[in-house]
Structure 1
Amino acid sequence: MESKRTISRRHFLKYLGAGAASLAAAYTGLTAFSRKADASPQNVNAYEQLPETFNPTLHTAADADELLLAGGFSYHVLAAYGDTINKSGDTFGFNSSYTSFFPLPGSGSEALLWVNHESVQYSWMSDRSQPIVWELQKQMLYEQGGSFLHLRKDALGSWKLVPDSALALRITGLTPIELTGPVRGTKAVNGATLIQGTFANRGGAQTLWNTQLTCENRFESTCRDTGLPLSHYGWVIEIDPFDASKKPVKHTALGRFHHGSAAMSLNADNQVVVYMGEDSPDGFIYKYISSGKWAAGDVNAQILADGSLYAADLTQGSWIELSVENVRNQLNRLTYQVPEALYKSREQLLEQFQSQSDVLAFANEAALIVGATPCDRPVELTIHPSNKALFIACTRNDKRGNLHGHILRLKEGSGSSFEFETFLAGGRQSGFSSPGSLAFDKNGNLWVGSDIPADKLNSGAWAEFKNNGMYLVHPSGEARRTKQYASAPAEAAIGGLAFSGNQDTVFMAVNHPGASGAGTDKPTSKWQRRQGEMQPRSAVVAITGTL
């Protein structure tokens, strides 16, 4: 829903920076570990400057088939499914789920915006009772992956798409990609060193050296329909936004599983640390630590090719290394009971895990064997910009009665130890359900996007939350003070927040509007339709505004 109010960059910067110092101070300690958070009137007043509700005319959650924003804010669509993005005629992919902003070197008015394309809507394309022909397989692969959009500020200072750019780029399920790390060329990937494409891309992270990581999530259905080997997918891919001549690479040292997202940092020894979440019921939290050290200015993707992978044991508060020695030692213990969830015998597992490449290619099974803690879909991770605490969105797990999910907060300790707590639980007390995306702006404000499935929205335990939304969480994590700033169109999820360099613009993905009606003659959303077409389209938008 577009506002006609005058857009003011100065006021929007003031909004994002309101109480920045006090907000960051309030985040400094984990509440369970430090009970001395600053509760001065200055802190409270800074937060209270922000609007109470996302839409002053509604004062409640919404179920409208519109993208609604907080009063005084407006959006425009940068690109939607099928839009041309470059001079080669490439088109924007399907189901946008994550964004990442890269200013062009030396420019304050041009940038690249990476956008993940998570999936395709098969019902748009085919009768699933019929064999899937090669032309349709190519389309399925092309619609996924990601897009680098070229953006340029117009005369009014608004970011707009450059549709005939020579810089914009598509990475798809047809793009050649190199394998790096311990699994390259091994039996676990059928001896492959170069593979075809990436798809099922959900989340990601920027690297310290200004490249893009994108995470492969639920890849099985595309593999099945295209005949591609499962072991080639489920990895983390690195792409250089500023050098199209470089092949993207899949970093096998980071493990293979249903990657939800990633977050990168440095430890005290200047080793690169990559935290990762597994988007599965009973998924695990992972951490990679590079063998080598990184220094500012280094541009060396090989630092992600050699390191150690760990999984979190929340019971003991420690990271367990996923090494072939640890896996085989556990399997060889006389008293060890193989988890029923593996559906394999001890003998079968000993045959399966014979090398480190086997452990990395089946990281989920390895984590379960060594005793890591299953979580309720730990899909998205982000790191606080000042105190480096790790925040993890566990979306939900109906089978364990966790209908509304929660957000964990983890603080590293000495050696392999850590402490964690439930920072905020979803549900009636917090005003949102099913956290599916997290993002910090540079001032330490935590933004949370909900991801209630389309078939559960506006019904049952989720009825009161209406459509999915975007929320701002109070620095203390106090549930009742969560504020809603956006409401998604019908059946859509919104997330993938990214901020322009000076934070005068927020970029946001609108994923799968009208999901349940897609491909039918009764579409369930009309948002972002093309003229003369029935079906809605996923998109990425730019948000600006005034208080």
Structure 2
Amino acid sequence: MTERPRLLPLLGQAGHSGRDSMTCLYRCGNACDHPVPNKSDNPYLGDVVNAEMSRRGVVRAGAVGALVLGLGGTAAATASPAAAAEVAPAMPGTLKKGKAGPLTFKAIPPNRLDNLIVPNGYDSAVVMRWGDPVLPGAPGLDVTKQTAKRQSAQFGYNNDFVGVLPLRGDRRALLVVNHEYTNEELMFPGFTSLEALTVDQVEVAMAAHGLSVVELERVDGTGQWQPVRGRHLPYNRRITALATSFAFTGPAAGSAWLRTAADPKGTTAIGTLNNCSGGVTPWGTVLSGEENFNQYFVGGDGAPEALKPKLARYGISTTARVPAGSRRWERAQERFDLAKHPHEAHRFGWIVEVDPFDPESRPRKHTALGRLKHEGANVIVAKNGKVVAYMGDDERFDYLYKFVSDKKYLPGDSAYARRHNLTLLESGTLYVAKVTGDSPAGEIDGSGKLPSDGAFDGTGTWIKLVSGNRSYVPGMTAADVLTFTRLAGDAVLATKMDRPEDVQPSLRTGKVYAAMTNNSNRGVGTNPGPDEANPRNANKHGHIFELVEQGGDNTAESFTWSLPIVCGDPADPSTYFAGYDKAAVSPISCPDNVAFDSAGNLWISTDGNALGANDGLFATAIEGSERGHLKQFLTVPYGAETCGPFITGDDRSVFAAVQHPGEITGASLEKPASTWPDGDFAKPAVVVTWRLDGGPVGS
């Protein structure tokens, strides 16, 4: 890109990061404008620095088993849903070896253009957009004829997580996408308010939540992909908040906390809410995280008094009958009124597992992984064969978690192995992280200045919360811990982090990376001040957290950590890029999702750029001389957030989700702030980017 970017005017008001206030309302229910849900008096790192080191000692980690997805013939061929139900592609569980080359693309400059911008030598295309047909015979989008039935057969709204699973060699694949939330102002003609929506329109919005599974085909042997069209689409599927049935698994399934009038056994939930990020398992399923579910409920003021503190810890209002910005879903389904159905909220906030290769299978909510505002979950295979899932709780001052399965992963494509692996997340041990810095507290002053040892780093321990049906938290049963995991983390004095979102292991080194998006409340008022793991007050731009498990064993209970990237404008002295020359790196703000290519480069998508430019996708090496050389790979249209990303195992395609384009205060369907991607009004969409010469993306 050589032309000078044309800036668009700011139409709305910015929130606490770079998000517009409209996004803050619909995305998370204005979470930053409400009191911090974590009111526990856990000590933060500044209070305990040097007071508690690792209980078992920490050594440098080596390589561990990790998920590597291939679109180059590594998957088993599947011919039909019936066959897929028995044998689905087995994903490699070991790390790739070799030396990564430098990132060769020319960085995209920050801009405010209403378009998707990619580097010279690359091209991009829309794969699926809101309203595109998913099920055979579904109509295309007509905003004047929206119904829940139509939307339940069409691609949902506000796509977030993107997974691409190989289906037949390198020519076919299954696209699995989360639909996190809806923005009714940009969906319905003549919108005036959420309260004025008809029940039919509420049901359309409910149907636009959930997940989509779409069969794709490669275009002419390139890195481009497109949906398969026709009458026979056996894998295509819509999962919605409106009507899809989910099964609970694990120790909390059937507990009193999950029982409702409609489900007195506490084993079945209807729908999934606010699905944010996720992950792909080595056995070929998709994990989806239920995040800001609190904003869908009313009636918290009428809930039982003993339950109110638990509801409040999850951001549910217990003082107002109808909280400001409520979606008013209780008008369509009474279960969203907590005064009448106080346990319904407990049925959300879980990790959901979906088997895209068996469209008749029932999605599951795994209680063994705990209930929180899950950004997502990413699974790797430990040295001893057990499966480990890493997770972040996306809230200011909340925690990092990991889950270690009781059973071991069985490699291979056999039906027996797959049936076994589908049970791996049903029983295991759940941990929460406590981290300690290694610098004197006085050197962490909130400015972002590096301490005298030249790095923000330290050690940490994984605190056991529950194992199987045994609780390790005094006064809480296993079902209590798993249903109110935040309260369990409070009780064991876990470390309060700056909005831990996506957490993912490196494909090459086994090191684990977490995006700390931001925390405008850090060190403000009576909120906890800076510590070495969260070193800046009023942290608008966020940072990347790197974790190395003891001995390279992902089941270990201790680790070392560091901050390789402290985000922001490179000219700002509070930023840090692993010691790389800051004059050569791209500015970045509010990291959200992370992913890896097969060369081991870290890819970072952003949400809420507080530097005044559009969000984007970035990449950097995390090993060698290029470590910290961060470069912007693409920018998304005006008002949008970059989600995903997903890099195929052959490195020929980068998928990303463009979420909420044109989500700017004052915009509407009739007066859009963005007209991407079709020139009429804004539509969230999944895009794919590839190199024109057919080479690997990035390097």
Interval containing the TM-score (normalised by the shorter chain): 0.7 to 0.9
Paired residue for 1:122?
184
Counterpart-to-counterpart distance in 2, 1:497 and 1:514: 20
Q: 1:291 to 1:364 in 2, by over 3 A?
A: same
Distance 1:98 1:390 in 2: 19
In the alignment, the residues of structure 2 paired with residue 108 and residue 435 of structure 1 have an alpha-carbon distance, to the nearest angstrom, of 31
| Structure 2 counterpart of 1:172 | 240
Structure 1 counterpart of 2:364: 249
In structure 1, the residue matched to 2:432 is 311
For 1:129 and 1:485, how far apart are their aligned partners in 2? 37
Aligned partner of 1:422 among 563, 567, 576:
563
Alpha-carbon separation, structure 2, partners of 1:98 and 1:33: 32
CA deviation profile, 1:265-287 (whole Å, cap 9, x unmatched):
12222111111011111121100
For residue 473 of structure 2, give the secondary structure of its aligned residue in structure 1: helix
Contact 2:605 2:616 in 1 (8 A): yes
Alignment equivalent of 2:256, drawn from 187, 198, 205: 187
Q: Distance in 2 between matches of 1:130 and 1:412?
A: 49
1:296 alignment counterpart? 411
Note the C-alpha offset of 1:122.
Answer: 3.1
Deviation at 1:108, TM superposition (A): 2.6
The aligned runs of 1:34-113 (5 Å cut-off) are 46-47=101-102, 50-54=104-108, 60-89=109-138, 90-104=153-167, 106-113=168-175
Question: 2:617 is matched with which residue: 467, 470, 474?
Answer: 470
Which AA in structure 1 matches 2:504? T
d(CA) in 1 for partners of 2:247 and 2:629?
47
**Shift of residue 142 of structure 1?**
1.0
| Mapped contact 1:140–1:222 kept (Cα < 8 A) | no
Partner of 1:413: 550
Q: Name the aligned partner's letter for residue 156 of structure 2.
A: G
How far apart in 1 are the matches of 2:176 and 2:384? Answer: 30
- 1:71-470 matches, cutoff 5 A: 71-89=120-138, 90-104=153-167, 106-123=168-185, 124-125=187-188, 127-128=192-193, 130=195, 133-155=198-220, 157=222, 158-164=224-230, 165-173=233-241, 174-190=243-259, 191-224=265-298, 225-226=328-329, 227-228=335-336, 229-297=344-412, 298-299=417-418, 300-315=421-436, 317-323=460-466, 325-328=471-474, 353=476, 355-400=477-522, 401-413=538-550, 415-429=556-570, 431-452=587-608, 462-463=611-612, 466-470=613-617
* Contact preservation (8 Å) 1:113, 1:148: yes
Partner of 2:534: none
For 1:436 and 1:293, the matched residues in 2 are separated by 31
Distance 1:507 1:113 in 2: 10
Give CA deviations for 1:138-181 in whole Å, capped at 9, x if unaligned: 22221111111111124464421124423211111121111101
Say whether 1:515 aligns with 2:663. Answer: yes
Partners of 1:171 and 1:160 in 2: CA distance: 21
SS at match of 2:375: strand
1: CA distance between counterparts of 2:628 and 2:255?
52
Aligned residues: 466
Q: 1:419 to 1:233 in 2, by over 3 A?
A: same
In 2, distance between residues paired with 1:138 and 1:546?
42
For 1:424, the aligned partner's letter is I
Amino acid at match of 1:119: Y
Mean Cα displacement is larger for which, 375-384 or 429-438? 429-438
Structure 1 residue 484: Cα displacement: 0.9
The change in CA–CA distance for 1:273 and 1:84 in structure 2 (over 3 A counts) is same
Give 1:334's aligned residue. none
Post-superposition Cα deviations, 1:383-430, rounded to whole Å, max 9, x if no partner, equal 111221100000000111111100011011164111111121101125
Q: Shift of residue 492 of structure 1?
A: 0.7
Q: Is the 8 A contact 2:564 2:628 kept in 1?
A: no
CA distance in 1 between partners of 2:628 and 2:594 (Å): 19
* Cα deviation code 1:81-110 (max 9, x no counterpart): 011122052100111111111111x43311
User: Per the alignment, do residues 524 and 479 of structure 1 end up closer, same or farther by CA in structure 2, a change over 3 Å counting?
Assistant: farther
Give the alignment's Cα RMSD to 1 decimal: 2.4
The amino acid across from 1:75 in the alignment is S
SS of residue matched to 1:230: helix
> Equivalents in 1 of 2:357, 2:105: separation in Å?
39
1:525 is aligned to 2:674:
yes
Distance 2:136 2:690 in 1: 28
Q: 1:85, 1:163 within 8 Å by CA — same for their partners in 2?
A: no
Alpha-carbon distance in structure 1 between the residues aligned to 2:286 and 2:115: 31
Partner SS state of residue 489, structure 1: coil
Distance across 2 between alignment mates of 1:185 and 1:274: 23
- Normalising by structure 2, report the TM-score: 0.63
Q: Give the number of the structure whose residues are more often strand, by fraction.
A: 1
Q: Decide whether aligned partners of structure 1 residues 521 and 76 sit closer, same or farther in structure 2, where only a CA change above 3 A counts.
A: same
Q: Which amino acid aligns with 1:462?
A: L
Q: Which residue is 1:338 aligned to?
A: none
**Amino acid in the other structure paired with 1:170:** R
Q: How many Å separate the matches in 1 of 2:378 and 2:275?
A: 15
Deviates more, 1:133-142 or 1:381-390: 133-142
Q: Which has the higher helix share?
A: 1
Write the letter of the residue equivalent to 1:441: D
**1:24-80 residue CA offsets vs partner (Å, 9 max, x unmatched):** xxxxxxxx969xxxxxxx989x42x613322xxxxx311111110011111111110
User: Structure 1 unaligned runs (5+)?
Assistant: 2-31, 35-41, 55-59, 329-349
Partner amino acid, structure 1, of 2:691: G
1:497-521 per-residue CA deviation (whole Å, 9 max, x = no partner) reads 2233422222111111011245364
Contact residue 600 and residue 621 of structure 2 kept, 8 A: no
Amino acid at match of 2:288: T
Corresponding residue of 1:4: none
Q: What is the TM-score with the length of structure 1 in the denominator?
A: 0.80
Distance across 2 between alignment mates of 1:128 and 1:96: 23
Query: d(CA) in 2 for partners of 1:486 and 1:263?
Result: 24
Alpha-carbon distance, 1:479 to partner? 8.1
Percent identity of paired positions between Structure 1 and Structure 2: 31
Cα deviation 1:463-520 (Å, max 9, x = unaligned): 3xx1111111133597873111101100111131223342222211111101124536
Q: Helix, strand or coil: the match of 1:93?
A: coil
- Check whether the contact 1:472–1:484 (CA below 8 A) recurs between aligned residues: yes
CA contact (8 A) 1:93 1:144 kept: yes
User: Which residue is 1:545 aligned to?
Assistant: 691
Provide the C-alpha distance between the structure 2 equivalents of 1:130 and 1:493, rounded to a whole number of angstroms: 26
Secondary structure (helix, strand or coil) at the match of 2:368 reads helix
